[in-house]
Structure 1
Amino acid sequence: MAIEQLFETLPLHYVQHGISKFGVGNILLAVLVTAAVGVVVDYGWMLYLRSRMPPGPWPLPIVGNTFQLPDNKPWIYFELLSKKYNTPLITFWIGRNPTVWINDAWAANELLDKRAGIYCSRPRMLVFAELGAGQKNLVNMITTTQAERDRFRVQRKLMHQGVGIQQVKRYRDFQNDESKVVAYDMLTTPEDYVAHFERYATSVVSIIGFGRRVADSKDPIITDVIAVMHRAADLNVPGKTFPMLMETFPILAKVPTEIAPWKHGLGARGKSHRGHDFFYTLAKEANENPGHEDCYSKLLFKEAPKYNLHSQEISALAGNLFGAGSDTSSSTLITAILAMRAFPETMIQAWEELDRVVGSERSPSFEDDTNLPYIRAFVKEVFRWRSVAIIGGQPHAPVQDDYYKGWLIPKSTWVQGNVWAIHRNEREFPEPDRFNPSRFMKDSPDARPFPGERGYMTFGWGRRVCSGQALAEQGTWLTVARLVWGFKIEPALDETGNPISVDIFDYTNGLNMRPQPFKVSIKPRSEAIRQTILREGKQALADLAPYEGETKYRMSTFYKENPVKAGFGS
């Protein structure tokens, strides 16, 4: 029984007599002493856990190390802490909750890949899950019970049916055509290369998910979805500012959103799962369209009775396609352009290989992969050099207590892979900030041992690896190969004719990072190549014509036009 309920059951004169007998001061003192004892006991437990867990900075009572975090790019800070303590794992306390940061490729491989069965779950996530996309979304799903694991397998199976390794090979034709359109558009408006990449990436996943392409870089589906992805990435950077501070002090999340500006609108009725209505409606619209029988939305509605899918699951699975394939893929291509501009010496060997294998009468195709080892290495270095998901996505959480090198990692602890530190460890990648495709060339003196066959950890680990990995790798290889084959990426010139420099460290602060805007000159390498790009681009547009169409829904206006749906998923 709560104290206030106890007082309600007592006659008023007893309460008044008790207060007068013991005095308000004594009561307050008792409360303060009790609180102080509670803090001391709790802090003692924190220090006891700290003595058994991986090393890290000394936490303060209640707040832990929260206020030691920098405001920007905390992954760099965690990399420095790992070097300071000379350890692959560090423990950093966000409030009373410890987070274990893995800053080493071999440790990440041992824990998150080899022990995937233990690190298969997610922790409770207040901001990104409960107030955002939902804890039952495949990306955020906790899998500590058999029922949760069964549901996870269902959603994972359905996602694999959309973008699994074998499935994405079926998408090569239209993915190739959309890539050709990128090159075609860059002939006329090369300065809009970011918009072209966003259109390409969004169009591919839109064809997969909803059976319609995105033809215009100003299509609202691009601007709305990319903006939502950027906002989610920005709001969920581990840090000492709101809204992530609610992870330290969960009670702050209970304040009504309307009077809590620190919640940034999270958790409001109808907004806590804002995308759910929208993506469900897009999927339903696609399902009712008589064309494109093999689009993912139709698969979800077909399988819904078999797996007892509810509308929120259909919405989340359809919406996750955009999360896994639009912002991330376009950001990777922007990084590729930055690398080409900042390290022009890497293009010489690439051009030699492409001219020898492909020539100028056609652009590269998927069938050229085995004959283009340097281009394959070039793309691997793009993934390694500046990975988009810089901390490997959402945190893992062990389903039981685990140990690594004698250190305890308690059950349900936040465990985060620091891809920034992993990909910049000089043991595996000497001169890590130098873009050097030779690192991935067989028998190259620059090659170093690295766990796994890919040589990078861009897409996460274990059972929580990014569902869209195969699609992203397939499309990135082809589009980067085509860009290198087709264009010279050179310095842009200012008003006085001087080259405009670029900064290879000037990236956004979100969890899915991308370069800040920069200017470059993009021109076709030769007239013969320009003519090939024109010819192939026009043919690609003709081949893509069956996917033309437009949805009548806009995320920016959907909830104003459909207020009855405001309570969806809440």
Structure 2
Amino acid sequence: MFALFTLFSLALVVGLGSCYILGLGLRPKNYPPGPRTLPLIGNLHQIPSKNEYLQFAKWAKEYGPIYSILAGSRPIIVLSSVEVVKDLLDKRSAIYSDRPEAYAANHIPISKLRMVFMPYTPLWRKVRKIAHSLLSIKVVKNYDAYQEMERKQMLNEMLENPVDFFPSLQRYTTSLAATILFGWRASSSADPKIRKLDDELAALQEAMSTGAAALIDGFPFLRYLPEALLPAKANIRRALQLGHDVHMENWYAVKKNIANGTLGPCLSIGLARAQEKDEGLTDEEAAYTVGNIFEGGMETTSSTLYAFIQAMLLFPDVQAKAQEEIDRVVGAKRPPVMADAVNLPYVRRCVKELVRWFPVGPLGAVPHACTRDDEYMGYKIPKGAPVILNAWAIMTDPERYPEPRRFNPDRFSEDNDDVSMAEMAAHPDPSKRDTVGFGAGRRICPGMHVADRSMFLGVSGILWAFSITPKQDAEGQDILPDPDNLIVGGIAARPEPFVANILPRDGKAEIVRQEWEAAQKLLDPETKQWKETPEGDWDVTLRV
């Protein structure tokens, strides 16, 4: 037994010594600074399994606006200021728009068509150009009728079921995304098509958020193990196959409905026209383009609206001030519409503060990567290393935002009232770039204009219709959530589940019911789909 223990100890010492000699898990001297590493594992032992963005923010305070960590043998570069983000992801976007090598993205063939995983290639540039043209601000204004319809149902659902309100927010954003992208709306969260999309996204998030999945990328040799020894590989493959099947099924249904003339105006028609114009877009590429935009829209906006309700619980003074503006400008007889936005500056500031206070991707959605070795501030940025946009650290920097965890719309000046949230996200002046939640550079989210308008309608409608107050425990104490405690999965975070009183304001319940009843006259009573196409400049909307 002693001999066996001695042999094991000797092997361990030799192994660690070899790691040290080979530099595995150790930070090269010319890399950006960062926390102390250990041989072989690097900084893996220091990354918490939950709320890791809080640790990344602490490291930013200690090591500065650009630092590095090692996940096993893999270096990761972390950008923690808007100035550095602009310098690298914007100004050097020609070389910082790639994606890092990853098992799920590069070693399973069907995943290579996912827009978020796709490397910086001519195919990605072609797909990005089409997506941005079909989701430009000029185009998305035509979808206002779709957005207002879904909001009317959302407010009615929250009125009828105020206890379990998150599904209402989720159906609002999911149905809107489905209408804009596929031409059909989801009248219920139980819609089979929505359930399939939910299931595939949940399966992918679960498969890729495990520790074993992270180890495959941190220690690349593991990807050559058989699935029997590393079940995470099989889980990732099955989840990606499920997503492939769902995306292709939805796209072929779109093409069938175009052929029989039953599809309403939607982004998929624009993609189909791109195919007809010989853009070189295959059915698989089109299916993944629209499917991946849908996946992004499903989670991000609903989670952000959920965070808004949480903020109103914690900061009732903001709620009162916003409601006073809505009552004064819009009145009590109807909820605000997009045309009212110009006259509701405080509500617009609430939306801007919301995306700052709650970065829906605390560490960015998917890391960037550099296509070649680069140098910045005297540090080496190695080719292919994941480059993380540390959104939580940037948006909670106390030097930039005093009392950063206070929800304070007044931190935005009147000078910025005419700047939309999408313009703010890509502002050329880093000091005025008050959100990085949509990403940066050439990988910035193509759906940000839709998200901006959806959040304004959601926020203003909820404030107009409801008062949000805390529930109380058995001792009569308010039950308040912790806004720094998030569930992070896939490309979006979400607040931990919390409780709240969602109470209709005086006279609003009947108006909410009447508006939804009137809106349903525009829908087929059986299918709950639009009877007729809403008014709009649809030729512009569907032009590629």
Quick check: TM above 0.5?
Answer: yes
Distance 2:164 2:12 in 1: 62
Q: How far 1:38 moved relative to its partner?
A: 7.3
Distance 2:13 2:169 in 1: 61
Residue of structure 2 in register with 1:151 after alignment: 123
Which of 485, 510, 516 matches 1:506? 485
Which of 256, 260, 280 matches 2:248? 280
Distance 1:323 1:441 in 2: 34
Q: Does 2:401 correspond to 1:421?
A: no
Q: How far 1:364 moved relative to its partner?
A: 0.4
Which of 73, 76, 91 matches 1:114? 91
Q: Does 2:388 correspond to 1:411?
A: no
Distance 1:34 1:160 in 2: 54
**What is the percent sequence identity of the aligned residues?**
33
Residue of structure 1 in register with 2:41 after alignment: 63
Q: How far 1:318 moved relative to its partner?
A: 2.1
- CA 1:402–1:357 in structure 2 vs 1: closer, same or farther (change >3 Å)? same
- Across the aligned residues of Structure 1 and Structure 2, the Cα RMSD in angstroms comes to 2.9
Q: Does 2:223 correspond to 1:253?
A: yes
Superposed CA deviations along residues 407-451 of structure 1, whole A, max 9, x for unmatched, are 12122221101111111100111111111111123279xxxx972
Structure 2: 5+ residue stretches without partners: 1-10, 417-426, 530-544
Superposed CA deviations along residues 284-321 of structure 1, whole A, max 9, x for unmatched, are 11221222353233333332351232332122112112
Residue of structure 2 in register with 1:95 after alignment: 72
Which amino acid in structure 2 is aligned with residue 405 of structure 1?
M
| Conserved? CA contact 2:486–2:494, under 8 Å | yes
Distance 1:547 1:130 in 2: 45
The within-5 A match list for 1:316-395 is 316-395=288-367
Superposed CA deviations along residues 41-97 of structure 1, whole A, max 9, x for unmatched, are 6318x76x7211210123334332223322212221121112222x11111011222
- CA 1:128–1:75 in structure 2 vs 1: closer, same or farther (change >3 Å)? farther
| Conserved? CA contact 1:506–1:515, under 8 Å | yes
Residue of structure 2 in register with 1:543 after alignment: 522
Q: Secondary structure at the match of 2:235?
A: coil
Distance 2:435 2:206 in 1: 24
Distance 1:543 1:454 in 2: 40
Q: Secondary structure at the match of 1:192?
A: coil
Which amino acid in structure 2 is aligned with residue 516 of structure 1?
E
| Conserved? CA contact 2:82–2:430, under 8 Å | yes
- CA 1:380–1:130 in structure 2 vs 1: closer, same or farther (change >3 Å)? farther
Instruction: Indicate the larger mover: 126-135 or 204-213.
Output: 126-135
**Which TM-score applies when normalising by structure 1?**
0.82
Instruction: Indicate the larger mover: 498-507 or 343-352.
Output: 498-507
How many residues of Structure 1 are paired with residues of Structure 2 in the alignment?
504
- CA 1:221–1:439 in structure 2 vs 1: closer, same or farther (change >3 Å)? farther
Residue of structure 2 in register with 1:465 after alignment: 444
| Conserved? CA contact 2:113–2:288, under 8 Å | no
Q: Does 2:181 correspond to 1:202?
A: no
**Which TM-score applies when normalising by structure 2?**
0.85
Residue of structure 1 in register with 2:506 after alignment: 526
The within-5 A match list for 1:99-178 is 99-127=76-104, 130-131=107-108, 134-143=111-120, 148=121, 150-178=122-150
Which amino acid in structure 2 is aligned with residue 76 of structure 1?
L
Residue of structure 1 in register with 2:536 after alignment: none
Q: How far 1:36 moved relative to its partner?
A: 9.2
Q: Secondary structure at the match of 2:360?
A: coil
Distance 1:68 1:498 in 2: 36
Which of 179, 190, 197 matches 2:162? 190
Distance 1:436 1:548 in 2: 43
Residue of structure 1 in register with 2:454 after alignment: 475
Q: How far 1:138 moved relative to its partner?
A: 1.8
Q: How far 1:128 moved relative to its partner?
A: 5.3
Which amino acid in structure 2 is aligned with residue 314 of structure 1?
A
Q: Does 2:213 correspond to 1:243?
A: yes
Distance 2:101 2:402 in 1: 37
Which amino acid in structure 1 is aligned with residue 137 of structure 2?
I
Q: How far 1:549 moved relative to its partner?
A: 5.9
Q: Secondary structure at the match of 2:468?
A: strand
Residue of structure 1 in register with 2:272 after alignment: 301
Distance 1:129 1:368 in 2: 47
| Conserved? CA contact 2:89–2:441, under 8 Å | yes
| Conserved? CA contact 1:235–1:244, under 8 Å | no
Q: Secondary structure at the match of 1:99?
A: strand
| Conserved? CA contact 2:395–2:434, under 8 Å | no
| Conserved? CA contact 1:128–1:232, under 8 Å | no
Q: Secondary structure at the match of 2:304?
A: helix
Q: Secondary structure at the match of 2:132?
A: helix
Distance 1:229 1:272 in 2: 9
Residue of structure 2 in register with 1:53 after alignment: 31
Q: Secondary structure at the match of 1:389?
A: coil
Distance 1:132 1:348 in 2: 53
Structure 1: 5+ residue stretches without partners: 1-30, 551-570
